[in-house]
């Protein structure tokens, strides 16, 4: 079955420290992968997608097909990065499968 | 643009009552999704509409749940009768989909927090 796994419910780091939010997927074939973010009192919104290979707000994510991972990384965390992060995958259909989410807390 | 609009934002009702959640997608979007978010199961797709037609309702939990999209600018999700286990946050999202691809960003509404006592 298609599955997206985020093993960490909470990740706490200090400002300026590197951040890595883990995401593993289980799909037959090559899925399209996304990271969505929900800041406090705001809507869930797209942060970045694998196909674009872009860096948004300093975050990047690399698809590792060997490890079936799509970890989200940022070299220096900022307090405003504190939010709920969701990894999601699609098998090129309309359906997005979301991970359970990781809450990132960046301490001053 | 106000984005995807959902109402009500909060709903508290008693078990057995009918609940109707409403969604207005972004103008020009042709695809609409209803999701449910719970602590136990995370974010789950309930139903997907494309050009106002339900394409996939396999995520709808049971017959107590129904969804309609009478036109391109309005959709409802109805629970009748409601049960305590239906308590969750219900999100609506919309996008422009060409064919069946979800490579296009989904825009989410603020959600409706439903509590059934």
Check A51 against B108: CB less than 8 A apart.
no
Chain B partners within 8 Å of A96 (Cβ): 45, 102, 106
Contact B106 A32 (CB under 8 A): no
Give the count of alpha carbons within 13 A of B59, CB side only: 21
Paired with B95 in beta bridges are: B31
Q: Give the pair of three-digit tokens for residue B37.
A: 């978010």
**Cβ pair B10, A50 in contact under 8 A:** no
B115 pLDDT tier (thresholds 50, 70, 90): very high
Residue B95: which residues within 8 A CB-CB, separation 6 or more?
B29, B31, B33, B102, B104, B105, B106, B107
Q: Which of A73, A31, A37, A66 is nearest to A50 (CA)?
A: A31
Say if the Cβ atoms of B102 and A93 lie within 8 Å: yes
Query: In the block, which residue shows the tokens 């391109």?
Result: B72
Q: In chain B, pLDDT over 70 holds for what percent of residues? A: 95
**Residues B77, B20 contacting (CB under 8 angstroms):** yes
pLDDT tens track for A27-77 = 877 788 999 999 998 899 999 888 777 778 889 998 898 999 999 999 999
Return the DSSP state at A64: B
Report CB contact under 8 Å: A94, B56: yes
Q: Which of A11, A20, A30, A26 is nearest to A82 (CA)?
A: A11
In this predicted structure, what is the pLDDT of residue B28? 92
pLDDT at B1 over 80: no
Tell me the C-alpha distance between A7 and B79, whole Å.
32
Residue A83 in tokens: 């939010």
The residue length of chain A stands at 108
Q: Which of A31, A44, A101 to mutate to test the interface with B (most CBs of B within 10 A)?
A: A44
Contacts of A5 in chain B (CB under 8 A): none
pLDDT band, very low/low/confident/very high, at B60 (cuts 50, 70, 90): very high
Count, in order, helices (H) and strands (E) of chain B. 0, 11
Residue A74 Cα, gap to closest chain B Cα (Å): 22
Q: What's the pLDDT score for residue A80?
A: 96
In this prediction, residue A52 carries a pLDDT of 72
Which residue in chain A has the smallest CA separation from B3? A43
């Amino acid at each position: 079955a298609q599955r997206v796994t985020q093993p960490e419910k909470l990740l706490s780091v200090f400002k300026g420290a590197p951040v890595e939010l883990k995401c593993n997927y289980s799909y037959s074939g090559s899925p399209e992968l996304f990271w969505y973010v929900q800041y406090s009192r705001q809507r869930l919104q797209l942060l970045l997608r694998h196909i674009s290979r872009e860096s948004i707000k300093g975050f990047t994510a690399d698809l590792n097909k060997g490890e079936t991972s799509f970890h989200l990384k940022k070299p220096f965390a900022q307090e405003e990065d504190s939010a709920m992060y969701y990894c999601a995958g699609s098998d090129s259909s309309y359906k997005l499968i979301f991970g359970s989410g990781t809450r990132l807390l960046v301490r001053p | 643009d106000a984005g995807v609009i959902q109402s009500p934002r909060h709903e508290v009702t008693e078990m057995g009552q009918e609940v109707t959640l409403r969604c207005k997608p972004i103008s020009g979007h042709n695809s609409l999704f209803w999701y449910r978010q719970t602590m136990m199961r995370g974010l789950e797709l309930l139903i997907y509409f494309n050009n106002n037609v339900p394409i996939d309702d396999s995520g709808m939990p049971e017959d107590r749940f129904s969804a309609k999209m009478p036109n391109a600018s309005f959709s409802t999700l109805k629970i009748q009768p409601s049960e305590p286990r239906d308590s969750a946050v219900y999100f609506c999202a919309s996008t422009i989909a060409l064919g069946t691809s979800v490579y296009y960003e989904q825009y989410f509404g603020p959600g409706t927090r439903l509590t059934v006592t």
